[in-house]
Amino acid sequence: MPSSSSTARAGTSCRRCHRRKKRCDRTLPQCETCIQAHVECSFLDDDRQVGTYPIAYVQGLETRVKELEKQLSAALVSSPYPNLHPDHDFDQPIINFATPPDTDNSDTFPFATPPSHSRSDFLVDELKRLSLEAAAERHLGSSSGLSFAKLTQAVLRRLSPDKAEFVFDDTPDESTEQYDGPLSDPLLDASTSLWELNNSFSSPCLFNQLPLSHVMEDETTLADLQFPDRAHIEYLMEFYFAHSHTLYPIIRQTEFASVIWRVYNNPQDHLAGSALWMFRIWMVLAIGSTTHCSVTLGDESESILYYNRAMVYFEDALGLGDMAALEAMMLQVSYSFFNQVGPNTFFLVGVAARMAIGIGLHSSSSYANLPSDVIEYRKRIFFSLYMMDRVVSIALGRPFAIHDNDIDIDPFTDTGTTDDPNHTTDLSIPLHILSLRRIASEITTALHSPTNTPNQDRNKTLQTLHKKLLHWRRTMPFPLPPTPSPIPHLTSAWFDLNYYTHMTMLYRPSPLFPSLDEQKVKVLATAAAMAIRQAMNLHRQGRFAYNWLNLLGVFQSAVALMYATLARPDELGVVVRKSKVVEDLGLVAELLRVFGRKFGVARRLERIVGVVVGRLEGYCSGK
């Protein structure tokens, strides 16, 4: 039977498993559950389902095709038959793409294995793989940490006895490649280098190429889908407004609550015929469900079903005016931060940003003569989009879609401002997060823009940004509003995590500081270690979101800690014994193990971190 790393999988569960609420391994052409039950799996006759194949296999096919084309060209050049021409119409073989290739017999497909090559660029490879497979196509800029990963790969030579390139063993551990959760990704073959794989990601899809409206059920099933029971709606709404709304306050909460219960109690209400309202309602339920699953690592079937129900109304909602279209796009962005279905995050943010600029939401002149409530709503939409743009663009090292110099409006106001020091208002948290995104924007612009700034001015810039981060941390909203739900950013550990993550981003080598003095290296080591510990703190509280952004953040912190440990001039054994680097990287491995239940690439990253930990333990014991 093929291993899980080489098996083709469907994008979602088969109909039988979904309706029975059973875990489906999504294996093509039939899932294991249906085979064991001796029933026909819906995958056999589902012409809407999209399958995914291991990238190594697909790349092997591409390589083999190129080799055969070269052989054919060479043969035609030397052919004694002049009438045989490359453009001649040959009868094409019939290929059944509905049935996955038999990958059990690897000798039958020698081209499915990529050629061996140096494994000394693993950190660079994995950072590219992690970023590109998560959110976008090929280009990664310096703020993504790509150049820093190359630098870290160089200092890892200290862990090699002969100071040669540090080479990771890329042999997959079969025990970690087993199916473990509904979202494990068969595309992520642990034996394939990310540097090669990134060329496969050239279409705007997140993780896999699933169509927007045919992910799980056909149109008839979606049209018949009814609202869940009232208690479940209340829970998903509570989770959405406590979680996503405090990050991106896109929806008017009071109005939304009024409308959803009107439609729920009276399906004939005229708002039940509004494409925009029905899109909003189903997207809020979908986002509430997927954000909850990101913390609990629960099954995503419900979320995907609600998402597809919302997409039934998407096109009609786009035609209801510029603001309606922009809101619809941003709800998709919010969903894409946590779920792999639909277009990728970077693509969606770019489209939404251009829509917002076209409307003029960045310019004060477009707000003239508008009622105050409309002004506040539009500002909330715009600055929510600004925050989304900063998160995604910085993660991928891309230019911002919205430039700070083009914005001449003030942020939305905290309408619930109170003199009570023991009360935190609804908008105080998103406003504080907006402050962090603006600082992050300054950090990226200052550190990663080409400059000939004198060294004294560079240090002044660094100190100024450091003070801004420190002020941000000290002025966090307090007390945070209580909630029975496991909301990450309603605990102080989340703010500490973001503080140390941004400190790591500030102090790691960059175009502004290509090399660091010993003091900066120590600050970097402390920041990276504290970021890792705060992530583990959230994990132990049951409040850590296992999405692609946090996976990228954990790995970047690990890379920073490796660099800061190995770049010090002191004897390595002394540094390792005096610090907690082994314990901290052990925490990273533990987090990656949990991430591996949702993202296949995390299992590979865990092995890489494990190799480094093993070498460092040797120094710690004096070997």
Indicate the pLDDT class of residue 578, thresholds 50, 70 and 90.
confident
CATH number at 37 reads 4.10.240.10
Tokens read off for 232: 């479940």
Q: Lowest mean pLDDT: which of 271-275, 422-426, 444-448, 540-544?
A: 422-426
Q: Is the pLDDT of residue 240 over 50?
A: yes
CA angle 470, 472, 478 (to 5 degrees): 120
Q: Rounded to whole angstroms, how far apart are CA atoms 194 and 202?
A: 14
The pLDDT tens digits for 476-527 are: 987 887 777 788 988 999 999 999 999 999 999 888 888 888 899 999 999 9
Measured distance CA(303)–CA(149) in Å, rounded: 35
Confidence of residue 202 (pLDDT cuts 50, 70, 90): very low
> Tell me, what's the pLDDT at 343?
60
CA-to-CA dists, residue 7 to 59, 105, 475, angstroms = 15, 12, 51
Lowest mean pLDDT among 12-21, 329-338, 410-419: 410-419
Position 622 confidence tier, pLDDT thresholds 50, 70, 90: low
User: Please, are residues 138 and 199 in contact by the beta-carbon 8 Å criterion?
Assistant: yes
Q: What is the pLDDT of residue 501?
A: 96
Tell me how far CA of residue 272 lies from CA of 255, 279, 282, 286, 503, in angstroms.
15, 10, 12, 18, 48
pLDDT bracket for residue 10 (50, 70, 90): confident
User: What is the per-residue pLDDT for 170?
Assistant: 46
Query: Strands 51-52, 9-10: parallel, antiparallel or unpaired by DSSP?
Result: antiparallel
Q: Which position has the token pair 């490796």?
A: 562
How many angstroms separate the CA atoms of 132 and 484, rounded? 35
pLDDT at position 159, please? Answer: 56
Q: Which of the given ranges, 150-159, 161-170, 504-513, has the highest pLDDT on average? A: 504-513
Q: Tell me the CA distances in angstroms from 152 to 107, 157, 399, 515, 567, one per residue in order.
A: 37, 9, 24, 12, 8
Largest CA distance in the chain: 93
pLDDT value of residue 108: 35
Considering the domain boundaries, does residue 19 fall inside one? yes
Kindly tell me if the per-residue pLDDT of 380 is higher than 80: yes
Number of other residues whose CB lies within 10 A of the CB of residue 86: 9
On average, the pLDDT of the chain sits at 77
Tell me if 13 is assigned to some domain: yes
DSSP SS3 for 205: strand
- Position with higher pLDDT, 618 vs 116: 618
Contact 573, 620 (CB under 8 A): yes
Q: Judge whether residue 287 has pLDDT over 70.
A: yes
Domain contains 27: yes
Cα distance between residue 26 and residue 11, in whole Å:
7
Residue 267 one-letter amino acid:
P
Query: What residues are paired with 52 via a beta bridge?
Result: 9
- Residue 421 pLDDT class (50, 70, 90 cuts): low
What pLDDT shows up at residue 455?
80
Has residue 22 been placed in a domain?
yes
Q: So what's the pLDDT on residue 152? A: 54
pTM, two decimal places: 0.71
Candidates 379, 315, 389; CA nearest to 349 is: 389
CB 587 within 8 A of CB 595: no
598: its two tokens: 């949702």
Give start and end residues of each alpha helix (H) in 483-599: 492-507, 518-541, 548-566, 572-578, 581-595
Where does 200-310 show beta strands of DSSP type E? none
Residue 18 lies in a domain: yes
Confidence band for 425, pLDDT divided at 50, 70 and 90: confident
Question: How confident is the model over 184-200, as a mean pLDDT?
Answer: 31
When pLDDT is averaged across residues 168-172 and rounded to a whole number, the result is 47
pLDDT in tens, 30-45: 888 889 888 888 887 7
- Of 148, 102, 43, 34, nearest to 567 by C-alpha is 148
129 or 398: whose pLDDT is higher?
A: 398
Domain that holds residue 37: 9-49
Query: Please, which pLDDT band fits residue 127 given cuts at 50, 70 and 90?
Result: low
Residue appearing with tokens 């590109």? 132
In a domain, 29, yes or no: yes
pLDDT above 90 covers what percent of the chain?
Answer: 37
Is the pLDDT at 277 greater than 50, yes or no? yes
Residue 56 has a pLDDT of 63
Q: Where are the alpha helices (DSSP H) in 136-228?
A: 146-155, 194-197, 219-223
For the chain, percent of residues with pLDDT exceeding 70: 70
Please name the residues in contact with 388: beta carbons below 8 A apart, sequence gap of 6 or more: 248, 330, 333, 334, 345, 349, 352
Provide the pLDDT for residue 454: 81
429 SS3 class: helix
User: Residue 39 falls within a domain, yes or no?
Assistant: yes
User: In the chain, what is the straight-line distance between the N-terminal and C-terminal CA atoms, in Å?
Assistant: 42
Query: What DSSP designation does 111 have?
Result: G
Q: How far is CA 218 from CA 221, 308, 312, 622, in A?
A: 6, 10, 11, 63
Give the count of beta carbons closer than 10 Å to the beta carbon of residue 87: 4
519-558 per-residue burial string, b: 16 or more CB within 10 A, e: under 16 = ebbebbbbbbbbbbbbbbbbbeeebbbbbbbbbbbbbbbb
Residue 112 exposure: Cα atoms within 13 Å on the Cβ side: 16
In a domain, 461, yes or no: no
State the helix-helix crossing angle for 492-507 and 428-448, rounded to 10 degrees. 10
- Cis peptide bond prior to 29, omega within 30° of 0: yes
The pLDDT assigned to 529 comes to 95
The pLDDT value given to residue 211 = 36
Q: Which of 351, 382, 350, 353 is nearest to 366 (CA)?
A: 382
Among 5-9, 148-152, 534-538, 618-622, whose mean pLDDT is lowest? 148-152
User: What domain count does the chain have?
Assistant: 1
Mean pLDDT of 112-141: 49
The stretch 454-466 carries a mean pLDDT of: 90
- Answer whether residue 252 shows pLDDT above 70: yes
